[in-house]
């Protein structure tokens, strides 16, 4: 590994070390302890709060002792997604990195550059004694990907700086100054299983080959949702053939568009050929609908060796199928203030049957609190109308942009001076911790930056290597001028 930008080599060396450590959301103990040990080995003051958030203090360089403190912030957890054929065990296996020309990706798993690259950059920044900078606080939060848990539990006084650089954006040359708020909703529908007809055979239908992606950034790309694809296919089959469901599952994280889903059911063996034809017809329809975003959609129907003793009735099977179509998914509203910005959306994220209950997870986002609440109420209503129940989490607030921010003004001027072009100042539909941090620490001046990252929250995730050095150079110039 030898890249043109000297610091890129150092940053990626540390990223490789980080990639050896398991750090799925809610399982970040090892990476947190690793960071505490690293801080102690390098004589930096470090502390961890009750949630696991870590703060490492880096003293100011000579001449900057009285400069305002700067917080460099990222999160330690990653979305753990893999392809169906991957045998990777996220609880213990290192992420296998693949250098592919200008890009770094992983072997059939998410890469974890979201947000491991922030940790690596912060480490290199702290270790370089030649860099001129104010007092630094390296803030690493936990469980960002499943609900911004770490940021939500930050206590007053945990950080002292009044300037914050969040390193969790995904386009070099873009300064993010606002983001959507979000709420997760859990729907449940009680099911009633009865003895299966011994004259029927058991089958499994799998929907796969979809690209998935980040439910904030990619929600307006009109990518296929595997759960919805599966539901529409089942409805197509059930119009002509009686089926009795035994199981259904699909999707994973709340902030990932589902790539795979499957359903098991009993059916008369005489109906197999007809069902196979209907499934092929559905596959053709979906490949046409999603020819640009998901051209490799696959629907596979096959006999299943499992032989469960119980199944849902024909009527209740219909209810489950229609439930998959009734739960909203996709863009609900576009912003009328900012061109091409998704204002409000919902991700139909996960479905499963557990303890005779159909369980569904959805994730709503909006930059307007009232519309976020309104969409959430509508999602909850779907479950209640169907005879089920719903409850929603507390969520997190949107980050309202401050276009008069002194940090934004200085950053824009410096970027233009450094690269002879203006950066793009944007508000995004994804969630960032800045909204919560700004609420907890009034007066915090913030922007979010980061190297170019493609297809986060999916096994196609990759980072543009050349963009890492550009973000690094900008950070150094900015820190030098924050005297």
What length does the chain have? Answer: 483
Nearest Cα residue to 444 out of 189, 65, 164, 206: 164
What pLDDT is stored for residue 189 in this prediction? Answer: 98
Query: Pick the catalytic residue: 10, 28, 77, 145?
Result: 77
Pairwise CA distance, residues 447 & 407, whole Å: 7
What pLDDT is stored for residue 208 in this prediction? Answer: 97
pLDDT exceeds cutoff 90 at 241: yes
Report the chain's C-alpha Rg in angstroms: 24
Query: Pick the catalytic residue: 28, 114, 137, 144?
Result: 144
Residue 244 tokens, joined: 């009795």
What pLDDT is stored for residue 67 in this prediction? Answer: 96
Q: What tens digit of pLDDT does each residue of 128-165 get?
A: 999 999 999 999 999 999 889 999 999 999 999 999 99
Residue 223 tokens, joined: 């990518």
Please give the residue that has the higher pLDDT: either 55 or 2.
55
What pLDDT is stored for residue 330 in this prediction? Answer: 97
Domains of the chain (ranges, CATH numbers): 6-180+398-481 (3.40.630.10), 183-392 (3.30.70.360)
Q: What is the pTM of this model?
A: 0.85
Contacts of residue 10, defined as CB under 8 A and 6 or more positions apart, other chains included, come to: 124
Pairwise CA distance, residues 351 & 286, whole Å: 20
pLDDT exceeds cutoff 80 at 1: no
Pairwise CA distance, residues 277 & 98, whole Å: 40
Whether the CB-CB separation of 428 and 179 falls below 8 Å is answered with yes
What pLDDT is stored for residue 253 in this prediction? Answer: 87
What pLDDT is stored for residue 431 in this prediction? Answer: 86
Over range 451-464, report the average pLDDT: 95
Over range 457-483, report the average pLDDT: 96
Pairwise CA distance, residues 117 & 450, whole Å: 9
Over range 351-374, report the average pLDDT: 97
| Strand pairing class (310-312; 330-334) | unpaired
Nearest Cα residue to 170 out of 467, 400, 466, 479: 467
Q: What tens digit of pLDDT does each residue of 50-109 get?
A: 999 999 999 999 999 999 999 999 999 999 999 989 999 999 999 999 999 999 999 999
Pairwise CA distance, residues 91 & 110, whole Å: 14
77 is catalytic: yes
Residue 2: pLDDT band (50, 70, 90) is low
What pLDDT is stored for residue 35 in this prediction? Answer: 98
Over range 329-347, report the average pLDDT: 95
Pairwise CA distance, residues 75 & 431, whole Å: 13
At 239 the three-state DSSP class reads coil
What pLDDT is stored for residue 3 in this prediction? Answer: 54
What pLDDT is stored for residue 308 in this prediction? Answer: 94
Pairwise CA distance, residues 152 & 147, whole Å: 9
Residue 5: pLDDT band (50, 70, 90) is confident
pLDDT exceeds cutoff 80 at 281: yes
* Angle in degrees, CA 445, 449, 451, rounded to 5: 165
Over range 157-180, report the average pLDDT: 96
Strand-pairing partners, residue 331, are: 345
Q: What tens digit of pLDDT does each residue of 378-413 get?
A: 999 999 999 999 999 988 889 999 999 999 999 999
Residue 307: pLDDT band (50, 70, 90) is confident
pLDDT exceeds cutoff 60 at 193: yes
Q: What tens digit of pLDDT does each residue of 292-306 get?
A: 999 999 999 999 988
Q: Taking the chain, what is the end-to-end CA distance rounded to the nearest angstrom?
A: 35
Write the secondary structure of 62-86 as one string of H (helix), E (strand) and C (coil). Answer: CCCCCCCCEEEEEECCECCCECCCC
What pLDDT is stored for residue 274 in this prediction? Answer: 97
Strand-pairing partners, residue 424, are: 174
pLDDT exceeds cutoff 70 at 4: no
What pLDDT is stored for residue 147 in this prediction? Answer: 80
Please provide the average confidence, as pLDDT, over all residues in the chain: 95
| Strand pairing class (103-106; 174-179) | unpaired
Strand-pairing partners, residue 344, are: 333, 366
What pLDDT is stored for residue 477 in this prediction? Answer: 96
Write the secondary structure of 461-475 as one string of H (helix), E (strand) and C (coil). Answer: CEEEHHHHHHHHHHH
What pLDDT is stored for residue 252 in this prediction? Answer: 87
């Amino acid at each position: 590994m030898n890249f043109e930008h000297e610091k890129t080599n150092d940053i990626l060396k540390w990223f490789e070390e980080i990639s050896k450590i398991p750090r799925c959301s809610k399982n970040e103990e090892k990476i947190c302890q690793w960071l505490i040990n690293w801080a102690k080995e390098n004589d930096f003051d470090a502390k961890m709060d009750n949630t696991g958030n870590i703060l490492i203090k880096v003293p100011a360089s000579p001449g900057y002792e009285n400069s305002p403190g700067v917080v460099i912030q990222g999160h330690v957890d990653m979305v753990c997604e893999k392809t169906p054929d991957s045998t990777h065990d996220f609880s213990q296996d290192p992420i296998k990195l693949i250098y592919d020309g200008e890009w770094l990706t992983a072997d059939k798993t998410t890469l974890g550059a979201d947000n491991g690259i922030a940790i690596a950059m912060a480490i290199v920044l702290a270790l370089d004694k030649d860099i001129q900078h104010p007092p630094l606080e390296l803030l690493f939060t936990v469980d960002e990907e499943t609900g911004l848990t770490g940021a939500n539990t930050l206590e007053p006084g945990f950080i002292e700086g009044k300037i914050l650089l969040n390193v969790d954006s995904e386009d070099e040359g873009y300064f993010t100054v606002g983001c959507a708020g979000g709420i997760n909703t859990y729907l449940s529908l009680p099911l009633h299983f009865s003895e299966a007809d011994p004259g029927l055979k058991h089958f499994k239908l799998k929907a796969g080959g979809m690209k998935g992606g980040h439910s904030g950034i990619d929600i307006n790309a009109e990518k296929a949702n595997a759960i919805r694809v599966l539901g529409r296919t089942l409805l197509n089959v059930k119009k002509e053939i009686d089926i009795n469901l035994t199981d259904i599952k699909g999707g994973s994280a709340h902030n990932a568009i589902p790539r795979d889903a499957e359903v098991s059911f009993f059916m008369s063996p005489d109906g197999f050929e007809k069902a196979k034809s209907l499934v092929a017809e559905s596959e053709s329809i979906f490949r046409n609908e999603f020819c640009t975003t998901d051209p490799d959609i696959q629907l596979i129907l096959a006999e299943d060796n499992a032989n469960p003793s119980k199944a849902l009735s024909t009527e209740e099977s219909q209810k489950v199928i229609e439930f998959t179509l009734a739960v909203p998914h996709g863009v609900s509203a576009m912003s009328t203030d900012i061109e091409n910005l998704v204002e409000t959306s919902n991700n139909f994220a996960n479905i499963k049957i557990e303890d005779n209950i159909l369980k569904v997870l959805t994730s709503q986002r909006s930059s307007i609190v009232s519309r976020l609440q309104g969409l959430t109420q509508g999602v909850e209503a779907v479950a209640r109308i169907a005879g089920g129940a719903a409850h929603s989490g507390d969520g997190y607030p949107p980050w309202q942009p401050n276009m008069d921010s002194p940090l934004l003004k200085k950053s824009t001027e410096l970027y233009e001076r450094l690269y002879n072009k203006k950066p793009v100042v944007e508000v995004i539909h994804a969630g960032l911790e800045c909204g919560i941090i700004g609420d907890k620490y009034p007066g915090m001046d913030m922007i979010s930056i980061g190297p170019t990252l493609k297809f986060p929250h999916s096994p196609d995730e990759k980072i543009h290597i050349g963009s890492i050095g550009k973000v690094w150079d900008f950070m150094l110039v900015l820190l030098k001028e924050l005297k």
